[in-house]
Amino acid sequence: MSPTPDDPLVLVRDLRVTFTGGRAPVQAVSGVDLTVHRGEAVALIGESGSGKSVTLRALLRLHSPKRTVMEGTIRVVGQDVLALGGRALADYRGKVASMIFQEPLLALDPVYTVGKQIVESILRHENVSATDARKRALQLFERVRIPSPERRLDAYPHEMSGGMRQRAMIALALACNPQVLLADEPTTALDATVQIQILLLLRELQRELGLAIVFVTHDIGAAIEVADRIAVMYAGRIVEEGPARTLIRAPRHPYTLALLQSRAHGALAKGSRLQTIGGSPPDLAHLPQGCAFAERCRFAADACLATQPPALELAPGHQARCLRTEATAAAANAVTAMA
């Protein structure tokens, strides 16, 4: 059943992803809830290993079924993704939801021209001729502002610069008019100037096409540029979620505050030293009984070590899994007053 205009295009409930290929099962994602509406961009942020990319790839069922157990609910544009198989899953990928991968040089096939790969995708999902498919590929190159687009269609991935390859990757992701766009750290390997160009392009395309975007990044600055809402992940869980401006100005989870204070343009007084987050993320094969961040948290109390904190609704659309939200708020306000 297709969603109504008011229904979310992406609905994830209690998603759990466990990898079983090692010595012990690793629960990389532990009960994630996420909704994304049409025309909305949601960023998943956090350190490496927090479960961001695992969550994103689960939306396309890209994990090996032999070594992965996925539980919960994933509905994308009304389709039960975990129930799809065979041709239905192949039809879903690229046509309903599509992904921009982190490193296009690895994602694109090196033995085919970029244009041929885009044409092949269009022919797979659309009932059009090869000539019309190439015309659409050319239009996509023009839309993502690749210079000399007709000539670049016949270029191989290694013949293009990093920024141009990423634009070609975006064109490929948009080739079959998906409603949901998944972006896995699409600017990580690019220099700062090209990064901002790609981020602005994604935002422009999202508004123009009405896409729902799920954007994975470890860079809060990139999340601010792209996202309407931000979900902060730690140890496989979303520990805080809310409107982007709210999370930046009034974080309520100690991990969110620590991420903000560890960046050069965070909520810091001029001339003050950057703060680091001490310790290391927990072993996902042996998660602690209580809050996974407690061992690294400066506000932790005994209760934090004993029980997993529930999600607290702090304001409409803003929630945090923390027993020490008031201490975090006081610290955030103090830092803001100094800035």
**Which residue ranges of the chain lie beneath pLDDT 50?**
267-268
pLDDT digits (tens, 9 = 90+) for 137-173: 999 999 999 999 999 999 999 999 988 999 999 999 9
Q: Is there a domain that residue 37 lies in? A: no
The per-residue pLDDT for 337 is 54
Q: Please state, for a pLDDT cut of 90, what percent of the chain lies above it.
A: 71
Q: Is residue 20, in this structure, part of any structural domain at all?
A: no
User: Would you say residue 255 lies in a domain?
Assistant: yes
- Asked whether 175 and 136 are in contact (CB, 8 A), the reply is yes
Sign of the alpha-carbon torsion through 178, 184, 186, 192: positive
Q: 262 and 218 in contact (C-beta within 8 Å)?
A: no
Q: Evaluate whether residue 310 is within a structural domain.
A: yes
Q: How many domains does the chain have?
A: 1
Q: Is residue 144, in this structure, part of any structural domain at all?
A: no
d(CA 110, CA 156): 7
Q: What is the spatial distance between Cα 230 and Cα 246, in angstroms, rounded to a whole number?
A: 9
Whether residue 210 is contained in a domain is answered as no
- Which of 95, 144, 97 has the alpha carbon at shortest distance from 123? 95
Whether 39 is covered by a domain: the verdict is no
Give DSSP secondary structure letters for 155-181.
Answer: --GGGS-HHHHHHHHHHHHTTT--SEE
What pLDDT sits at residue 267? 45
Question: CB of 167 within 8 A of CB of 118?
Answer: no
Per residue in 81-107, pLDDT (tens digit) is 999 989 999 999 999 999 999 888 888
Predicted confidence at residue 196, as pLDDT, reads 87
Evaluate whether residue 264 is within a structural domain.
yes
> Domain range for residue 291?
250-339
